[in-house]
Structure 1
Amino acid sequence: MSKARLVITAVIVEHRSVSEVSRTYGVHRSWIYRLLARYRAEGEKAFQPRSRRPRTSPAATPESTVKTITGIRQQLVASGVDAGPDTIVWHLAHHHNITISAATVARILTKEHLVAPAPKKRPKSSYVRFQADMPNETWQSDFTHYRLTDGTDTEIITWLDDHSRYALHISAHPHITGPIAQTTFLHTAENHGYPASVLTDNGLVYTTRFAGRGHGRNGLETELARHSITQKNSRPNHPTTCGKVERFQQTMKAWLTRQPHQPDTITELQTLLNTFATIYNHHRPHRSLPHRATPATIYNARPKATPTTTTNDRHYRVLNDKVDKHGKLTLRVNGTMHHIGMGIENARTPVLKLVDDLHLRVINAATGELLKELTIDTTRNYQPLGGL
């Protein structure tokens, strides 16, 4: 039994005075009078616990601001871009002249059932972050799959500036090959200048260094060496090394899937990618950048880095091979296979191929006799029959 019921019973049923009840139960007389008034007005409801919440809350977020926050959230989700508290705070400050904390926005989103409570994540302070100090200091690249409405699989390649997260190049292709990686790099360099370094995974379209002996440089590696650009590759099973470009691809694909018209062709997909690049680079605030700036703002705010060293970087190889039954050898140069006639008299002969960039010497592995010497013509797959 509650003390309120005891007090009321003592006064109403036992007809004891308010002063006596006050002394007996150690309560103030004013409280007893309020309780009696409430009992006479409400009956048994007077004994139910009352909320201690104040009738007014001057520090509460205005309802108009709550509606603005939920409206921004719905618009961002519908457009397929980041719709977290930090991004909403940026839109409130820049488009509505409202200053509010991200924590308050998060509480409002939770209260309005616009976000689902998530388990506590690993704290950001536990991550070791790397970021280039200047634009064009490091470019990251990767490609991802995207399926058209008819089920056709396509691949999208991206070149991203590490310092600013600026999307330098995005293009869709039926399949990403080594020549496409090289061509897109050159196209990006023509528009934005050559970087000091590039960072990619160890896929064959980017590097052949991990493919075993016998693989020459591919086209991209040759181009990087020619311009003295440092090539960096992530270790196998360490995708977080290229985390910026992979997170970019997640954002890009989330935006694509939320578009009202899904692409039927690669041309339509490329049109959507161009639109996304404009939104991402120039209009969408990036929460990993200072003051939630756009990538374009950060990319254009500082001088661009350039390749800093000039080296006479030649490609030397010693390869074991055997002339085929038709009297021919092959040699991969800049990612392209070239065919070299050795003569039917040398068919099935074990040889050593001594490669100095484009200069090739073919030696009989058993006798040391020089069988052929020539300079590879990279414009021809089948080399002319001249030479030694």
Structure 2
Amino acid sequence: MPARSTINAILDRAGLVTKEPRKRPRSSYRRFVYARPRDCYQIDGTTITGLPLGRVCVIEVLDDCTRTLVATRACWAETTADAIAAVNTAIADYGAPAIVLSDNGTAFATIGRRGGTQRSRFAQNLDRHGVRLIHSSPYHPQTCGKVERHHQTFTKWLTASGHQPETMEQMQAVCDEYQARYNTQRWHSAIRATPAAAWAAAPSLGGPTSLPAQADASIYAVRVDQSGRVWMHGTSITLGRARTGQTMTVVIDGLHANVHDHDGHHLGHLTLDRDRRNQGQLIA
């Protein structure tokens, strides 16, 4: 029997083999990042084990643009109360962001109730600061990847430092030491500076009074009209008449659009067709 390579060559000459498309070059990938400090804070908790005080959680709040660690809180578990305390510390020390990005953990997400939903205390706290909450979702370019990767940096430093905290107070002191060192001493390859230097060098800051800026994406706060659509520069996306009057956050990265409701939930996505005025219904 002929070798597989010989069979493929024969089929190729006969036009019976469809060649695989070339892989997308790495140079074509863009780093999705907000343009200004305080455009977006990412928040997430990580579990630390193997310490004398036992199993603990560290909630970290990271500025998306500069990678500045704007808050770090040691606690026993990722609770709503501790998440609120962490983000409030970030706001007190660095100012309120335009949006906060979190996962769908119980400390952050809206609670389902019979006959409806109850907005989470974490979201309500952000409302008081004028901050919009968005949850990371599939097909959403603004994932919590930066803060999740940062957890690894922290745990590696903690192991190498030799710190062995025996109380929660000692653990918080360790977190505070790490935050100061990370922001002022660690050179970050993605921003080509230390986080503190990148923040200080920024020409302007974001915040609740302005939509977050993107170098490679557009973000819109748009109201659903009576026909159940949202419009951006003459292009519409259909959400349904049941959402008439609601304000949505639409993130457009190239030809990919994602829509989030007021509670930060990801409603769906679609690929835009520039030749169409009406883009049709979202893909959930």
TM range (shorter): 0.5 to 0.7
Out of 264, 284, 293, the position equivalent to 2:193 is 293
Q: CA deviation at 1:126?
A: 5.7
Q: Hey, what's the Cα distance between the residues in 1 that align with 2:56 and 2:141?
A: 21
Out of 176, 180, 183, the position equivalent to 1:281 is 183
Aligned pair 1:143/2:45, yes or no? yes
- Which residue number corresponds to residue 149 of structure 2? 247
Structure showing greater relative contact order (alpha-carbon pairs closer than 8 Å, 6 or more residues apart): 2
Contact 1:148 1:265 in 2 (8 A): no
Q: Hey, what's the Cα distance between the residues in 2 that align with 1:130 and 1:151?
A: 38
Give 5+ residue unaligned stretches, structure 1: 1-121, 312-388
Alignment of 1:105-116 (within 5 A): none
Out of 49, 54, 58, the position equivalent to 1:152 is 54
CA deviation digits over 1:60-85, x for unaligned, max 9?
Answer: xxxxxxxxxxxxxxxxxxxxxxxxxx
Q: Decide whether aligned partners of structure 1 residues 223 and 260 sit closer, same or farther in structure 2, where only a CA change above 3 A counts.
A: closer
Alignment of 1:11-22 (within 5 A): none
Contact 1:286 1:294 in 2 (8 A): yes
- Which residue number corresponds to residue 304 of structure 1? 205
Alignment of 1:280-359 (within 5 A): 280-289=182-191, 292-302=192-202, 303-308=204-209
Q: Decide whether aligned partners of structure 1 residues 309 and 149 sit closer, same or farther in structure 2, where only a CA change above 3 A counts.
A: closer
- Which residue number corresponds to residue 256 of structure 2? none
Q: Hey, what's the Cα distance between the residues in 2 that align with 1:247 and 1:239?
A: 16
Instruction: Compute the TM-score of the two structures, normalised by the length of structure 1.
Output: 0.44
Out of 45, 70, 77, the position equivalent to 1:168 is 70
Instruction: Compute the TM-score of the two structures, normalised by the length of structure 2.
Output: 0.59
Q: Hey, what's the Cα distance between the residues in 2 that align with 1:218 and 1:166?
A: 26
Which has more strand, going by share of residues? Answer: 2
Q: Decide whether aligned partners of structure 1 residues 210 and 297 sit closer, same or farther in structure 2, where only a CA change above 3 A counts.
A: farther
Which has more helix, going by share of residues? Answer: 1
Give 5+ residue unaligned stretches, structure 2: 1-23, 212-220, 222-284
Q: Hey, what's the Cα distance between the residues in 2 that align with 1:271 and 1:129?
A: 33
Q: CA deviation at 1:225?
A: 2.4
> What value does the CA root-mean-square deviation take over the aligned residues?
2.8
Contact 1:148 1:264 in 2 (8 A): no
Larger radius of gyration: 1
The DSSP-based 3-state class of the residue aligned with 1:307 is coil
Contact 2:73 2:82 in 1 (8 A): no
